[in-house]
Structure 1
Amino acid sequence: MRTLVGDLLACHLGQATSGTLGKRLYDALQQSIQAGMVAPGTRLPASRDLAKELGVSRNTVMAAYEQLQSEGYLSTRAGSGTFVSAVLPESDLSAIAPPVAEGRSTDGITLSRRGEQLLNRAGASQRQWGAFMPGVPDVRHFPQKTWRKISRRLNLRLPVETLSYSQHGGYAPLQQALADYLRVARSVKCTPEQILITSGTHQSLDLLAKMLCNPGDRVWVEEPGYWGHRSVLEINGLETVPVTVDDEGLTLPAEEAHVSPPRLICVTPSHQYPTGAVMGLARRKALLDRAQAWGSLIVEDDYDSEFRFGENPVPALQGLAQAGNVIYLGTFSKTLYPGLRTSYMVLPDSLTARLKIAHSELYRGGYGLTQLTLAEFIREGHYAAHVRRMRQLYSQRREALVTAIRQQLGEAFIGQESHAGLHLILALPQEIDDVAFSAGLEQAGVWTRPLSVYYMGVAKRRGLILGYACVEAEAMAETFRPIARALLPLLQR
């Protein structure tokens, strides 16, 4: 049986024309390792097997292996075989590389200004799960057995067309299941035809930016607000305008004030991210009226509205709109698991056909089995049951975190009043650098996000965003203790 390494070396040997066979084999393997085509840690074929693959003597292979081992490229493990070394000889030299000028790389390739801006403000962490990482659910409670059972059942009778690209903004069973669910759970007014399935909210917003805006158009974003919105909009050449958030979410300028109308208004009215503010009915109506008068479109990101604890659900803004000027964004990243990469938009009738065509042209819809499995998961009631279970679990964990903050620091440090979502704000005094404090906690293995990085301008509040979803209630006090222990000396200065 041929191996990938054997195929690679056979190709190199066929191209080499000078030197002895042993030297050509040595050069081929060394160059493959140096170029990264045979990665560090790769187990090489046994000398007898490789000799048979290449049609050479075993002594030729053994000589090449021994020479490369003496030079540090290979290592042997008793009873396991021969491996490419985890650290190559060249690594010591590359570690002393000269500094690279900002905006440039060692190969002279520069990024665009928008690309540099994106990387400089990137909010992604090396860690995307655990305490106290915000924005992620506890994926350990996802009912995988139920999901696999549905998936296996569907796979036995999977229509052949689901193996190709989706041309209609998603698969009809999921669009129907979502329309039925959203009408009941979120008071969204829609038909299945208005739903466009996407691979994440970022893709939804990227499509809207490309299809509804021209470079230089103004887009209102919340201040503070989710940097992911800003990143997607700005990489598309749009001007993001920060609009202050208060206790009722996005504020509106006085009607007589002269403002340049935005093309899009991006809001999180049911649970503002990150402050947790809920937009009241009066302001919702005022926002709808203002957008209609300006000819602006509202993009409503309803990212975690299912998780409200002890309060009545807040209906979606889209359900109040009479003019068809609200585009509703939803996701399964918070209710199921982020790796599902399945989100959706509810579009106004006038945009549906055109944006579905554009989505197909730009991104090529697919994931047929996943979408059909999700449709059955919703239709059979598993989704609603899972949300109910997680709502109760997250409510307990939120209360445990609030209790830990009160007992270890005091009431004044609870910086978020809303009983909803997957995170809360730990308020910090303005003189504390929350970015530096968060970085220090990360070195101790505690993952948070500083509140100040959610502002485009000067931060009006300092604090930490604490995601409590992945910390069990009984472990919350002890898990929070390192934060309090690190903070108390700063408060005594």
Structure 2
Amino acid sequence: MHSLAGDVIRQAFFSGTEEKLHKRLYTAICNAILSGNLPPASRMPPTRDLASELALSRNTVLRVYEQLQAEGYISSRTGSGTLVTHSVLDNLDCRPAVKKEAAPVEDASLLSDRGLQLLAHASASPRQWGAFLPGVPDVANFPHRVLKKFYDRQARQLSPALLTYDTTGGSEVLKVALTDYLRTARGVQCSPDQILITEGIHQALDLVTRSLCYPCDKAWAEEPGYWGIKNILRMNGVAIVPMPVDDQGLIPDAEVDIPPKLIFVTPSHQYPLGSVMSLSRRQQLLAQARKSHSWIVEDDYDSEFRFAGQPIPALQGLEADSPVIYVGTFSKTLYPALRLGYMVLPEQLKTPLKRMHSELYRGGHQLMQAALADFIREGYYAAHIRKMRQLYSRRRQVLVNLINDLSGSACLGQYNSNAGLHLIMQLPAEVDDVALAQRANRQGILVRPLSSYYAGEKRLSGLLLGFASMEETEIRTQFHRLASLINEPG
């Protein structure tokens, strides 16, 4: 039977130069132990197995093991086998000094211009869990045991198709379940064969950009808007055209000389400001996209978490055969590490984009997709969203009250809608929100500066405060700490 220890010894043995086989084996095992390749408590291969792997007599291996045991390198216990001893660490000082070579110096010039540009605009937080981190749901309240039950059920009736690459755009049962859900909950017009399962929003946006854009094509992006979209456009050589946002969402420009190839919008809950795109603005945007042969990429961000009024239907479902690529994710409704999202593709694009997805990314996670389909179909997904909507609404209200108590309702974002997983706390124009956020981050308060979401010079100062992942008592405690930082001079 092959083992990792056996592989280490075999490689060292056949690299040795000793003529006598027992001496070569002894040296190979000693070097492997002293170099750390066989650390203390490693299980040595049985003598019979090692002899077979090295084409040696068993007596030769026994002789070497006895010598190593006498010198304290290994020890043998009845029922436990032969192990590398912990006391071998005492021998490490006897190793010959090895001159360490200096690690190569990081050299940014090795990167492409696009790579350097991406790093210059990198905004992903190094920490993905903490006080007021925006965009993070309460993963502790997710019914993991329920999803595991469906996962285990699928695993018990496993078919080879669930363990191989996917080339059809995702699990068929998940696409059917999603179609039913999106029609009912979001007003999306689609059939299962229009759905493509992705590993989250970023992969979906990257696929769309690579598939539909030439280098130097133009794309409209909301100003301010999500940094992830802009970085994907930069990496694909697409020119970003920042488009201003007001209380009705993105403001289209009908007088442009060169129309955009793509128009990125978050109409149900504009990120980060929170405005909702009005019906007239949606119709205007659809008409302009048809006229200019542009594609609208609708990121249905935070659409499930509206805490007052009726849900806002998706832009995609307003017109039949609309020029809209609809993208969504389970990162906010379930949990981010699931890494599952989806696209609803127009009829003209569904086949080529599925083929491109298969060529570029190699779809997978079929077993989890099948389990998730059961989770949706049996009503647990909708029930979980209802439960979390109530929970997030209470937490949001706690934060709203704290902001109002500190400085009045004027500090809440000017387009603030009763939805989403974060609030914007506006600051006076003279306050450096980037410096303030950095001070807060160093103390474990993971707010984001609003000004960093702008591409142009005209920027608002403020902080994005995520509340979804925090208990109400923690919201109060951490907000008082943040308020102290805001009130500090300088």
Q: TM-score range by the shorter chain?
A: 0.7 to 0.9
Of 228-237 and 403-412, the range deviating more from structure 2? 403-412
Q: Quick one: which amino acid aligns to residue 180 of structure 1?
A: D
The match for 1:139 is 139
Tell me the residue number matched to 1:70: none
Alignment of 1:42-81 (within 5 A): 43-45=40-42, 55=61, 56-57=64-65, 59-60=67-68
Aligned residue in 2 for 1:265: 263
**Does the CA-based 8 Å contact 1:328-1:345 persist in structure 2?**
yes
Select the residue among 388, 398, 401 that pairs with 1:400.
398
Aligned residue in 1 for 2:379: 381
Spell out the pairing of 1:246-285 with structure 2 (5 A cutoff). Answer: 246-253=246-253, 255=254, 257-285=255-283
Question: Is this contact kept in 1: 2:221–2:264, CA < 8 A?
Answer: yes
Whether the 8 Å contact between 1:269 and 1:317 is mirrored in structure 2 is yes
Identical aligned residues as a percent: 47
Structure 2: stretches of 5+ with no match in the other structure: 52-60, 75-83
8 Å Cα contact 1:133/1:466 also seen in 2? yes
Q: Given the alignment, which residue of 297, 311, 318 partners 1:313?
A: 311
Cα distance change on mapping 1:50 and 1:314 into 2, 3 Å: farther
CA distance in 1, matches of 2:314, 2:461: 30
The offset of 1:433, in angstroms, is: 2.0
Return closer, same or farther for 1:49/1:300 CA change in 2, 3 Å cut-off: same
Q: What CA distance in whole angstroms lies between the structure 2 residues aligned with 1:289 and 1:91?
A: 71
Secondary structure of 1:349's partner?
coil
User: Alpha carbons of 1:476 and 1:59: their partners in 2 closer, same or farther (altered >3 Å)?
Assistant: same
Quote the Cα distance in structure 1 between the aligned partners of 2:312 and 2:251. 18
Question: Which amino acid in the other structure matches residue 432 of structure 2?
Answer: D
Structure-2 residue corresponding to 1:107:
none
Q: For 2:380 and 2:387, how far apart are their aligned partners in 1?
A: 11
Moved more, 416-425 or 341-350: 416-425
Q: Which has the larger radius of gyration?
A: 2
**Kindly tell me: are residues 24 and 299 of structure 1, through their superposed partners in 2, closer, same or farther at Cα, counting changes over 3 Å?**
same
Question: Cα offset for 1:328?
Answer: 0.4
Q: Secondary structure at the match of 1:298?
A: strand
Distance 1:346 1:233 in 2: 20
The change in CA–CA distance for 1:186 and 1:93 in structure 2 (over 3 A counts) is: same
> SS of the residue aligned with 1:350?
coil
Map of 2:121 onto structure 1: 121
What is the one-letter code of the residue matched to 2:226?
Y
Residue range with higher mean Cα deviation, 114-123 or 327-336: 114-123
How far, CA to CA, are the matches of 2:121 and 2:402 in structure 1?
Answer: 32
Matches within 5 A, 1:147-186: 147-186=147-186
Q: Deviations over 1:215-264 (max 9, x none)?
A: 221111111111111111221121111111122221122x3x34310000
Deviation at 1:6?
Answer: 4.5
Post-superposition offset of 1:373:
1.0
Provide the rounded CA distance (Å) in 1 between the counterparts of 2:302 and 2:98. Answer: 45
1:159/1:77 Cα in 2 relative to 1: closer, same or farther (>3 Å)? closer
Aligned counterpart, 1:468: 467
2:174·2:373 contact (CA, 8 Å) conserved in 1? yes
Instruction: Indicate how the Cα distance of structure 1 residues 347 and 77 shifts in structure 2: closer, same or farther if over 3 A, else same.
Output: same
Q: Which moved more, 1:45-54 or 1:458-467?
A: 45-54
Amino acid of the structure 2 residue aligned with 1:299: V
1:182 and 1:48 map into 2 onto residues whose CA distance is 56
Greater Cα offset, 49-58 or 449-458: 49-58
Change (3 A) 1:46 1:181: closer
- Secondary structure (helix, strand or coil) at the match of 1:228 reads helix
* More divergent stretch after superposition (119-128 vs 150-159): 150-159
**2: distance between equivalents of 1:270 and 1:183?**
16
Query: What stretches of structure 1 of length at least 5 have no aligned partner?
Result: 67-74, 105-109
Partner residue in 1 for 2:245: 245
- Tell me, what secondary structure is at the counterpart of 1:399? helix
State the SS of the aligned residue for 1:327. strand
What residue in structure 1 maps to residue 80 of structure 2? none
**Which one is further off, 466-475 or 387-396?**
466-475
Q: SS at the partner of 1:271?
A: coil
Structure 1 residues 265-294: Cα deviation after superposition (integer angstroms, max 9, x where no partner): 011011011111111111111111111111
Q: What value does the CA root-mean-square deviation take over the aligned residues? A: 3.2
C-alpha displacement of 1:312: 1.1
C-alpha spacing 1:345/1:76, structure 2 compared with 1 (3 Å): same
Counterpart AA for 1:447: L
CA pair 45-315 structure 1, distance change in 2 beyond 3 A: same
Deviations 1:27-49 (A, max 9, x none): 44555x5xxxx59xx65427898
Task: Give the structure 1 partner of residue 350 of structure 2.
Answer: 352
Measured after TM superposition, the shift of residue 166 of structure 1 is: 2.2
Distance 1:354 1:450 in 2: 39
1:201/1:331 contact within 8 Å kept:
yes
